[in-house]
Amino acid sequence: MPKKIFILLPDGVGLRNFAFSNFYKLGIEKKFDITYWNNTPFDLKSLGFNEIKIKNAKSYPLTESYKNARKHIELNLNIKAENDSVYDGYRFPFSYKKLKIAVKSYLTRFFITIYNSEKGLKKVREKIVKNERKTAFFSQCLKALQDNKPDFVFCTNQRPLLAIAPILAAKELKIPTGTFIFSWDNLPKSTMVIETDYYFVWSEHMKSELLKYYSYVNQNQIFVVGTPQFESHFDSESILDKIQFFNEYDLDFNKKYICYSGDDFVTCPDDPQYLSDTADAIRKLNQENNNSLGIIFRRCPVDFSGRYNAVLQKNKDLITAIDPVWKNIGEDWDTILPTKEDVKLLSNTIFHSEMVVNLGSSMVFDAACFKKPCAYINYDVKNKIDADWSVSKIYKYVHFRSMPNKDAVVWLNSSDEIADQIKQILKQSDQIVENAQEWFKIINQHPAEDSSDRIWEAITEILS
């Protein structure tokens, strides 16, 4: 009998890694019986997958406040243990705009006050479990598991509240559980919401972080597998030839393109100004070299705002916007869903660009997959939208400490430097690319294209 695997999608962020990659295909080839336990609006049956839709998922009323308190307490303990204030940068300000939100904020602050210790943190974790087991959603999850009897429940993301009840239900029925750590910066930010029997991490570096920040996790619970996030870049069949790509997106065959990769508003409120500065630099270079360069602008997939409109209109002769193919089906960032088409579009955008310009994102690794250099913006603009925001805060975050060589990227330390730096990197980028690839090997298990296969091998080992 094939082993039955439930792939829990508590929200849409796991779609790219586990529905739009080769993950499902490889699992079928390895003779697993795969069902997606789907809490997203996306219809996975349209891809030929088995799915069970989760309906009316709802957490216990106090769970969100306890979860937020857990994050703050963990950050407080990290600051105390390491004497490092960088962890303060991972906090979001409390909101009091609406009554319901204000009540949650006050409760969170109360819980932080009374549970701000190692013992208190353990009590918060216990209360989350106790409360979630009282919910109708927990009972619904129990029934789904009893009816379908999976051998393993694999959660695609460790962060969502609505993953707690399904995992607790599986534990109640003695079904082994595992979770994938979604992003390279997640563990220092204290984003762990669920606690599973096994943890799937990107790298040995991330394994060390998991053991450091979560003392209740043991080494034998952790599998180093990489991430399917980058696998599509190694699929040569998905790459369009230049004529087709340039024609489809109305690009100029006489130009070489720089990809400017946008950030979300919270990460970079001044991003439109950085795009404008980059456009000014490219315009300067074009005056020197016969209008030979252009910019492809790829906005952050969860940013549907009009904040770039003025810059794009002003530079419409220079910038071509190729928007991510994501679907906005709600008001929150995690209800903006990726599509399979965008996986291919991202690969092609980087492949047909000479380099990537960005403020501190993992796009440096996407670029490294194609042996393309990446430049990181590293200066504050004069008239900042948010006086408290600074680029210096971004690069102090813990995940940037994994960079083995500061020359893994080109640092754009002022708007005046952009033109010269781009000019130099377009002439010679071998060393920068080599350094970026070394960093990539620290962040993500290699070969990068074999992540899905390693995940299935780990599941096989667990079940054997």
Type and span of the H or E element at 363: helix 363-369
Q: Which residues contact 355 (CB under 8 A, 6 or more apart)?
A: 258, 259, 367, 372, 373, 374, 375, 422, 425, 426, 429
Determine the longest span between alpha carbons in the chain, in angstroms.
70
φ, ψ of residue 331 in degrees (nearest 5):
-90, -25
Q: What is the CB neighbour count within 10 angstroms for residue 170?
A: 26
pLDDT interval class at 330 (50, 70, 90): low
φ, ψ of residue 35 in degrees (nearest 5):
-130, 130
- pLDDT at residue 329 is higher than 80: no
Tens of pLDDT, residues 21-64: 999 999 999 999 999 999 998 899 999 999 999 999 999 999 99
Give percent above pLDDT 70 in the chain. 98
Paired residues of 337 in beta bridges: 327
Q: How far apart are CA 90 and CA 75, in angstroms?
A: 8
Paired residues of 259 in beta bridges: 296, 356
- Mean pLDDT (the chain) is 96
φ, ψ of residue 299 in degrees (nearest 5):
-70, 160
Amino acid at 85: S
Alpha helix positions (H), 116-257: 118-132, 136-148, 164-172, 204-213, 242-248
pLDDT of 89 reads 93
Radius of gyration of the chain from its Cα atoms, rounded to whole angstroms: 23
Give percent above pLDDT 90 in the chain. 93
**Residue 36 DSSP code:** E
- pLDDT at residue 243 is higher than 90: yes
Pairing of strands 336-337, 327-328: antiparallel
With contact defined as beta carbons under 8 Å apart, do 301 and 326 qualify? yes
Q: How far apart are CA 91 and CA 85, in angstroms?
A: 11
With contact defined as beta carbons under 8 Å apart, do 176 and 184 qualify? no
Tens of pLDDT, residues 130-152: 999 999 999 999 999 999 999 99
Tens of pLDDT, residues 428-464: 999 999 999 999 999 999 999 999 999 999 999 999 9
Total-model pTM: 0.95
pLDDT of 335 reads 64
* Sequential DSSP letters for 405-440: -GGGSEEE-SGGGHHHHHHHHHH--HHHHHHHHHHH
With contact defined as beta carbons under 8 Å apart, do 157 and 55 qualify? no
- pLDDT at residue 398 is higher than 80: yes
Pairing of strands 327-328, 319-321: unpaired
Q: How far is CA 129 from the centre of its chain?
A: 26
* Sequential DSSP letters for 173-190: TT--EEEE--STTTTTTT
